[in-house]
């Protein structure tokens, strides 16, 4: 169909999405450096080098951008064909990471595979793999989305298997994000609303049972409910995060001026990076971060809508799934930092320190850019 010249895309890719993503990555690099100076300078493991985490994050970011550039070249039809095999590979990695002597254990959790120069966290890449697998599954089973045994049950069994492996690590945060991704894609793909509502009820019951039967999760809930009751124990991390938010007020104490990052707030450059942003840049800094992730979610859904209009159903669900992944993970991290949710080991996408996370996030954004690129090619009548 002919597209009027005034409605044809002026560029072959979404320049706003690209530049906004790069700005977020650069902002994250600056904040990782600011939040990690004291930790790096005081640790024998880092050689007392204050730039240790900055240099490592810069290397991770370079690898992530290279991976993203290569990913952008891969057509979405290839991703769709590869989705089941990627899922199988991801499951194998989740099994391998649990094997003693192979999986690396840190703070009681076995989530990493040592690569020598860095650690690989399979659960980070599993989030993107689940986006692809759930999108492909929903397209293949589109005619059975109203059917419990043919449409819903197989995906439920697969998610329970993934959940079992993740909870063995344990990585409750990644499990919650992956379940949210799969449920959302099934719902967007036409899952019967009664099945969806029933699944919500089962998940709530399941999460409550997981908390009730796990002493350390119960302790986190208790610490979350009243961190000031035990500010030097269960509530230590959250109480210092709240102090950071309180000190920041509207405009913050200035970049580099955080006190909480001076060995008071644990994981300041990873899970609690937002608390340092709040202290140094204030309410305005936090609002910019929140609005930034909201914009990414809206943009992902608009790209998915354009793909759906062209009857590219897999691409549409993949785009929306990526948006949901980044939004849900950022919501959980922000909620934890602000004391609205119990503490979880989830980083802030695109911003927090971490090699696996930043690489997986950049690859996901490259896929989103690829979907938009193919939308624009088809609008101008060119083959994908």
Residue 217: what pLDDT? 66
Q: In the predicted model, is pLDDT for residue 299 greater than 60?
A: yes
pLDDT tens for each residue of 30-73: 999 999 999 999 988 888 899 999 999 999 999 999 999 999 99
In the three-class reduction of DSSP (H, G, I as helix; E, B as strand; rest coil), residue 103 is classed as: strand
**Angle, helices 52-72/15-42, rounded to nearest 10 degrees:** 150
Q: Give me the mean pLDDT over the 293-304 stretch.
A: 97
Could you tell me which residue, 38 or 207, shows the higher pLDDT?
38
Q: Quick one: pLDDT band at residue 172, thresholds 50, 70, 90?
A: confident
Buried b / exposed e over 340-352, threshold 16 CB at 10 Å, is ebbbbbbbbbbbb
Alpha helical stretches, state H, the chain: 15-42, 52-72, 76-96, 122-140, 153-168, 172-188, 193-212, 215-225, 236-248, 273-309, 313-337, 355-379
Q: Give me the mean pLDDT over the 296-310 stretch.
A: 97
Share of the chain above pLDDT 70, in %: 95
Residue 380: what pLDDT? 83
pLDDT tens for each residue of 72-121: 999 999 999 999 999 999 999 999 999 988 888 877 788 889 888 788 99
pLDDT tens for each residue of 141-171: 988 887 778 877 888 888 889 988 998 888 8
Q: Whole-number mean pLDDT of the chain? A: 90
Q: Give me the mean pLDDT over the 199-216 stretch.
A: 75
Q: Quick one: pLDDT band at residue 6, thresholds 50, 70, 90?
A: very low
Residue 329: what pLDDT? 97
Q: Give me the mean pLDDT over the 205-214 stretch.
A: 74
| HEC readout, 216-229 | HHHHHHHHHHCHHH
Spatial separation of the C-alpha atoms in residues 275 and 117, rounded to whole Å: 29
Residue with the two structure tokens 């785009």: 319
Q: In the predicted model, is pLDDT for residue 131 greater than 70?
A: yes
Residue 3: what pLDDT? 47
Q: In the predicted model, is pLDDT for residue 134 greater than 60?
A: yes
Q: Quick one: pLDDT band at residue 200, thresholds 50, 70, 90?
A: confident
In the three-class reduction of DSSP (H, G, I as helix; E, B as strand; rest coil), residue 119 is classed as: strand
């Amino acid at each position: 169909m002919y597209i009027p010249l005034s409605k044809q895309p002026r560029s072959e890719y979404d320049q706003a999405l690209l530049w906004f993503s790069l700005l977020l990555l650069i902002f994250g690099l600056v904040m990782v450096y600011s939040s990690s100076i004291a930790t790096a300078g005081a640790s024998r493991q880092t050689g007392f080098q204050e730039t240790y985490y900055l240099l490592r994050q810069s290397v991770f970011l370079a690898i992530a951008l290279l991976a993203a550039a290569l990913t952008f070249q891969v057509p979405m039809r290839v991703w769709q064909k590869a989705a089941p095999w990627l899922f199988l590979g991801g499951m194998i990695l989740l099994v391998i990471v649990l094997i003693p002597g192979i999986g690396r254990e840190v703070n009681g959790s076995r989530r990493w595979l040592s690569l020598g120069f860095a650690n690989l966290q399979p659960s980070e890449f599993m989030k993107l793999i689940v986006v692809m697998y759930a999108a492909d599954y929903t397209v293949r089973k589109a005619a059975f989305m109203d059917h419990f045994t043919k449409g819903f049950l197989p995906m439920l069994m697969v998610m329970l298997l993934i959940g079992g492996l993740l909870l063995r690590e344990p990585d409750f945060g990644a499990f919650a994000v992956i379940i949210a991704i799969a449920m959302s894609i099934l719902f967007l793909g036409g899952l019967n609303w009664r099945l969806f509502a029933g699944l919500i009820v089962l998940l709530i019951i399941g999460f409550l049972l997981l908390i009730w039967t796990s002493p350390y999760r119960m302790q986190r809930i208790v610490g979350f409910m009243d961190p000031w009751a035990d500010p030097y124990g269960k509530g230590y991390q959250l109480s210092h995060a709240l102090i950071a938010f309180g000190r920041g007020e509207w405009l913050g104490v200035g970049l580099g001026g955080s006190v909480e990052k001076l060995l008071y707030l644990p994981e300041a450059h990873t899970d609690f990076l937002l608390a340092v942003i709040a202290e140094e840049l204030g309410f305005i800094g936090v609002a910019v971060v929140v609005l930034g992730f909201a914009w990414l979610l809206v943009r992902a859904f608009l790209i998915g809508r354009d793909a759906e209009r062209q009857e590219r159903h897999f691409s549409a669900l993949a785009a929306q799934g990526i948006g949901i992944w980044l939004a849900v993970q950022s919501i959980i991290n922000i909620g934890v930092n602000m004391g609205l949710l119990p503490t979880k080991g989830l980083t802030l996408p695109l911003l927090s320190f971490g090699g696996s996370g930043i690489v997986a996030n950049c690859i996901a954004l490259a896929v989103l850019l690829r979907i938009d690129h193919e939308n624009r090619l088809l609008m101008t009548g060119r083959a994908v």
